[in-house]
């Protein structure tokens, strides 16, 4: 009993878990976990969480410096880097996204890839990896 009380007491002084990102963010600039130096069309391996990257200038693909990309897996193919639709920063899964055009993308606070989709009379942020 004493040991349990001691452990409970220690729990009160433990640091809270770190958040994956800011509580309010409407742009890619404040979104954590965006990888630098990705190459359009190159293989990647994270299609569910922290899927975003930025490209360096590459004359062969005529990308702009800092161009936002995402790691996606087209049907029956290995994942690779694609140009990203416009990104709305950090949003909550299943929250309304009516202030954004359909197919905008975002990242959940835990890093989950989200897409703004409309169906059943609602427009909400849904998983982008399905």
The pLDDT-based confidence of 9 (bands split at 50, 70, 90) is very low
**Residue 9 in tokens:** 């007491």
Of residues 127 and 22, the one with the higher pLDDT is 127
Please, what's the b/e burial string for 71-83 (b: 16 or more CB within 10 A of its CB; e: otherwise)?
bbeeeeeebbbbe
pLDDT digits (tens, 9 = 90+) for 54-68: 988 655 555 455 789
Backbone angles phi, psi at 106, to 5 degrees: -155, 180
User: Using CA atoms, how far apart are residues 62 and 85, in angstroms rounded to an integer?
Assistant: 17
pLDDT digits (tens, 9 = 90+) for 87-108: 999 999 999 999 999 999 999 9
Under a CB-based contact definition with an 8 Å cutoff, are residues 97 and 124 in contact? yes
pLDDT score for 53 = 96
């Amino acid at each position: 009993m004493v040991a349990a009380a001691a452990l409970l007491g220690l729990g009160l002084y433990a640091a809270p878990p770190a958040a994956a990102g800011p509580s309010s963010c409407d742009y890619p600039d404040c979104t954590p976990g965006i990888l630098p130096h990705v190459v359009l069309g190159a293989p990647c391996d994270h299609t569910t969480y922290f899927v975003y990257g930025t490209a360096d200038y590459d004359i062969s693909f005529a990308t702009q410096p800092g161009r936002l990309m995402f790691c996606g897996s087209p049907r029956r193919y290995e994942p690779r880097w694609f140009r990203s639709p416009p990104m709305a920063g950090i949003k909550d899964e299943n929250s309304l996204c009516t202030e954004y055009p359909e197919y905008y993308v975002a990242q959940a606070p835990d890093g989950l890839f989200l897409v703004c989709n409309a169906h059943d009379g609602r427009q909400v942020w849904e998983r982008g990896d399905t």
